[in-house]
């Protein structure tokens, strides 16, 4: 089982499970599943981008910290930046410089965090039905409930983590606006090419997908993609988008 071991900024031991499929220009795919984001979630999607892209790309997938087979400390200060640090550290470990990235659900927010943290390294980014906060804020409750459900599973195995730490961690993750990791202002100034595949529910609002595509100056938008009759066209557009932005 491939595990990448590292120390976090506070000296905690982290083990990250990852897989590699195919060869070519690298693409980091970040799975859906909320706080449980791990590799098997890709099998529940309208199609598997791992299988689609492995014939042409070096596809890298991983279980996020404290999801699936990955382990890490849990602290009050934890937040999106810790996940981004994990992702970039894994790519460094694998000798990856520039890369494409793509993420579904929570992976959309992770993907934009990578664009913000390492804009010179991200050749392009794909957001499959990204999560996001509606302008009204009405759907924020679904994210805090999702976090609490995940934390409830872990708490019996993590007695060292105090209740105040869980609360602070949840606020760090889901207290922000728009995509949680980046603002509308950042998105409007983002030059990285984006392919945005629309969401259509409380976790993945159509409003958020449309806003990302409208704000970002180098964005393409696909509204219909999940139903089987739209799969082929959406897959073809994904492949063309990546090909257009793969460095020679």
Exposed/middle/buried for 236, CB within 10 Å: 0-12, 13-18, 19+? exposed
Exposed/middle/buried for 95, CB within 10 Å: 0-12, 13-18, 19+? exposed
**Alpha-carbon span 195 to 124, nearest angstrom:** 8
Average pLDDT over residues 192-203: 98
Q: Which residues of 133-169 are buried (b: 16+ CB within 10 A; e: fewer)?
A: bbeeeebbeebeebbeebbeeeeeeeeebeeebbebb
Q: What are the chain's domains?
A: 3-243 (3.40.50.1820)
- Residues 190, 217: contact at Cβ < 8 Å? yes
Q: What is the pLDDT of residue 10?
A: 77
Q: What is the pLDDT of residue 11?
A: 79
**Alpha-carbon span 24 to 144, nearest angstrom:** 39
Express as a percent the part of the chain with pLDDT over 90: 97
Token pair in block for residue 111? 């993907």
**Alpha-carbon span 223 to 45, nearest angstrom:** 16
**pLDDT surpasses 90 at 12:** no
Express as a percent the part of the chain with pLDDT over 70: 100
- Determine how β-strand 219-222 pairs with β-strand 99-104: unpaired
Q: How far apart are the first and last CA of the chain?
A: 33
- Residues 215, 244: contact at Cβ < 8 Å? no
Q: Give the phi and the psi of residue 3 in degrees, each rounded to 5.
A: -125, 130
Q: What is the pLDDT of residue 160?
A: 95
Q: What is the pLDDT of residue 54?
A: 98
pTM over 0.95: yes
The predicted-structure confidence for 132-190, as pLDDT tens digits, reads as follows: 999 999 999 999 999 999 999 999 999 999 999 999 999 999 999 999 999 999 999 99
Q: What is the DSSP letter of 9?
A: T
């Amino acid at each position: 089982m491939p595990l990448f071991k590292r120390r976090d900024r506070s000296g905690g031991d982290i083990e990250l499970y990852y897989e590699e499929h195919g060869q070519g220009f690298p693409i980091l795919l970040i799975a859906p599943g909320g706080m449980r984001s791990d590799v098997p979630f890709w099998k529940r999607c309208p199609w598997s981008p791992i299988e689609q892209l492995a014939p042409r790309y070096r596809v890298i997938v991983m279980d996020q910290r404290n999801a699936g087979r990955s382990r890490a400390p849990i602290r009050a200060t934890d937040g999106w930046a810790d996940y981004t640090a994990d992702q970039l550290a894994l790519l460094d470990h694998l000798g990856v410089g520039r890369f494409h990235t793509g993420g579904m659900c929570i992976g959309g927010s992770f993907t934009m965090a990578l664009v913000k943290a390492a804009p010179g390294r991200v050749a392009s980014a794909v957001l499959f039905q990204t999560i996001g906060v509606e302008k009204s804020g009405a759907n924020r409750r679904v994210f805090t409930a999702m976090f609490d459900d995940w934390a409830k599973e872990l708490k019996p195995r993590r007695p060292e983590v105090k209740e105040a730490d869980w609360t602070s961690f949840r606020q760090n993750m889901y207290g922000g606006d728009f995509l949680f990791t980046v603002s509308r202002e950042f998105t409007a100034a983002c030059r990285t090419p984006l392919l945005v595949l629309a969401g259509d529910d409380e976790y993945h609002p159509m409003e958020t997908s449309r806003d990302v595509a409208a704000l970002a100056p180098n964005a393409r938008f696909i509204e219909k993609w999940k139903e089987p009759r739209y799969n082929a066209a959406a897959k073809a557009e994904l492949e063309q988008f990546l090909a257009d932005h793969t460095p020679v």
